[in-house]
């Protein structure tokens, strides 16, 4: 009797195991009329991408017949690509009339709820991964954890938390305030003066959960300060930030408009220059020599220039800088691309409305970059700058199933990237055709 019970138990376990195996074997098949896989310049036609759990498990020629348990996503009339990566966003804020008062009126919870909303909009627009380059209250760190834990929906986030600035420089949180409204900010608040403070500020970002460092090497457009392009860090401060960040396995992204600040930052060994408005041939050559990436943010430049024409939208001090600097970035980008500088896609979303990130593709193509190169800048090139090319950035077996698709062919009409039909992140479809 005991032998019979044992035999029945083993049989039941085998049946249960087979059932579980059968359920686990159910795949998602994406039938793609065209595939831009992010790895080369070829466009494949009529292929099937097989997804199991959160990974790409096969790329098969033709439209593979589905088994009974499989799910089929029909993109036979469209183009499928790797999930897009925006290398410059600010998920905890969005420019709008009156937004200069938000730092006085919004609590941490207000910022957090808005950030969750902006994150979901960004994902729906086809951006499955972003770098967040400057937040408030370290909300982007908490948001990253909530997304990774499945509590809320949004893209993968690589965050710098609070940007690093000098006293009075771009990203000093006390700019524009009368004395006494806040204690003079220091390294814990992201304000650096001197080598020791530079090291402390980097370590504080590491401690609070940042993935990388963002610093403001020059003045900026939207800060309440006179200059939009003057250099704001000394050579020894930059060297201390870069060395400390790299010791902690963190890359360094640098806001910069002016030439002198860019040259100092590039020579210090930073990983990317953001905006880069006043780059010239000397800067292009230096970036190529040092392997420095360029993240252009054309959309932000055009947006601030447009909004500067709206009476009262910006403080007058900001309005003048927006009119001067904003319109120049697209031209700089075109020259940088022609010079052969490494380019990764980035928009500065938050300076304009979240979810409009794909506008950047249009402006890049207008400036002379071919559509396929623009798509690569937001896929494999961006993944390389992140140091995440082993897991995202292309549609290859073994990588995360971050996959997007549009109807028609974006190589014929780049504007199609503004209308996603398919958005899948980590094997989960958030938008279906």
- Give the span between the Cα atoms of 287 and 307, in whole angstroms: 31
Helix count and strand count (H, E) for the chain: 14, 14
**Please, what is the angle between helix 359-366 and helix 329-339, to 10°?**
60
Closest C-alpha among 1, 87, 15, 39 to residue 271: 87
Give the pLDDT of residue 181: 87
Give me 62's structure tokens: 């033709």
Closest C-alpha among 147, 238, 161 to residue 198: 238
Classify residue 309 as left (phi > 0), alpha (psi -120 to 50) or beta.
Answer: alpha
- Give the span between the Cα atoms of 225 and 42, in whole angstroms: 48
The SS3 call for residue 104 is helix
Pairing of β 44-52 and β 84-89 = unpaired
Question: Is the Cβ–Cβ distance between 250 and 203 less than 8 Å?
Answer: no
Give the pLDDT of residue 25: 60
- Give the span between the Cα atoms of 305 and 300, in whole angstroms: 8
Give the pLDDT of residue 8: 37
Pairing of β 84-89 and β 127-132 = parallel
First-last CA distance in the chain: 57
Q: Which helix (H) or strand (E) holds 191?
A: none
Residues lower than pLDDT 70 in the chain: 1-25
Give me 329's structure tokens: 């970035």
Q: Which residues sit opposite 164 in a β-bridge?
A: 215
Classify residue 137 as left (phi > 0), alpha (psi -120 to 50) or beta.
Answer: left
Pairing of β 156-159 and β 127-132 = parallel
Q: What is the pLDDT of residues 356-414, one digit of tens each?
A: 999 999 999 999 999 999 999 999 999 999 999 999 999 999 999 999 999 999 999 99
Sorted by sequence, the CB contacts under 8 Å of residue 428 that are 6+ apart come out as: 54
CB atoms within 10 A of CB 249: 10
Give the pLDDT of residue 289: 98
Would you call 316 exposed, middle or buried from its count of C-beta atoms within 10 A (0-12, 13-18, 19+)? exposed
What domains are there in the chain, each with its CATH number? 2-82+395-431 (2.30.40.10), 84-386 (3.20.20.140)
Half-sphere exposure of 42 (CA within 13 A, CB side): 4
- Give the span between the Cα atoms of 220 and 228, in whole angstroms: 4
* Range list of β-strands (E), 94-166: 127-132, 156-159
* Edge-to-edge strand list for the sheet holding 272-275: 213-216, 252-256, 272-275, 293-295
Give the pLDDT of residue 7: 39
Sorted by sequence, the CB contacts under 8 Å of residue 254 that are 6+ apart come out as: 214, 215, 216, 217, 262, 265, 270, 272, 273, 274
- Give the span between the Cα atoms of 143 and 161, in whole angstroms: 11
Classify residue 413 as left (phi > 0), alpha (psi -120 to 50) or beta.
Answer: beta
What does the DSSP 8-state code read for residue 312?
Answer: T
């Amino acid at each position: 009797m005991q032998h019979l019970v044992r035999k029945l138990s083993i049989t039941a376990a085998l049946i249960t195991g087979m059932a579980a195996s059968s359920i686990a074997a159910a795949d998602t098949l994406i039938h793609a009329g065209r595939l831009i896989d992010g790895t080369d310049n070829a466009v494949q036609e009529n292929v099937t991408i097989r997804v199991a759990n959160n990974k790409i498990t096969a790329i098969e020629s033709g439209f593979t017949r589905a088994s009974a348990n499989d799910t089929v996503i029909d993109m036979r009339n469209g183009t499928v690509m790797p999930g897009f990566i925006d290398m410059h966003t600010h998920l905890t804020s969005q420019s709008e009339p009156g937004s200069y008062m938000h730092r006085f009126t919004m609590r941490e919870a207000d910022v957090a709820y808005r950030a969750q909303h902006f994150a979901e909009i960004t994902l729906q627009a086809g951006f499955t991964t972003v770098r967040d380059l400057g937040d408030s209250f370290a909300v982007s760190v908490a948001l990253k954890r909530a997304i990774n834990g499945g509590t809320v929906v949004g893209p993968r986030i690589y965050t710098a938390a609070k940007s690093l600035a000098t006293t009075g420089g771009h990203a000093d949180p006390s700019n524009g305030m009368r004395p006494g409204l806040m204690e003079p900010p220091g390294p814990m608040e992201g304000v650096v003066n001197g080598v020791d403070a530079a090291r402390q500020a980097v370590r504080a970002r590491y401690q609070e959960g940042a993935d990388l460092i963002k610093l403001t090497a020059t003045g900026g457009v939207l800060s309440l300060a006179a200059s939009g392009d003057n250099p704001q860090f000394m050579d020894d401060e930059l060297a201390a930030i870069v060395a400390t960040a790299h010791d902690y396995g963190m890359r360094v992204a640098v806001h910069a408009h002016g030439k002198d600040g860019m040259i100092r930052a590039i020579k210090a060994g930073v990983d990317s220059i953001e905006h880069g408005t006043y780059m010239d041939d000397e800067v292009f050559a230096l970036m190529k020599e040092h392997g420095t990436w360029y993240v252009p943010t054309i959309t932000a430049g055009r947006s601030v220039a447009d909004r500067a024409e709206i009476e009262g939208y910006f403080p007058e001090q900001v309005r003048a800088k927006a009119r001067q600097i904003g319109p120049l970035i697209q031209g700089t980008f075109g020259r940088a691309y022609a010079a052969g500088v490494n380019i990764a896609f980035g928009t500065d979303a938050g300076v304009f409305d979240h979810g409009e990130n794909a506008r950047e593709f249009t402006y890049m193509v207008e400036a002379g970059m071919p559509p396929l190169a623009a798509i690569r800048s937001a896929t494999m090139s961006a993944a390389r700058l992140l140091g995440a090319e082993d897991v995202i950035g292309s549609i290859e077996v073994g990588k995360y199933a971050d996959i997007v698709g549009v109807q028609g062919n974006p190589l014929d009409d780049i504007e199609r990237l503004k209308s996603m039909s398919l958005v899948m992140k980590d094997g989960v479809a958030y938008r279906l055709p």
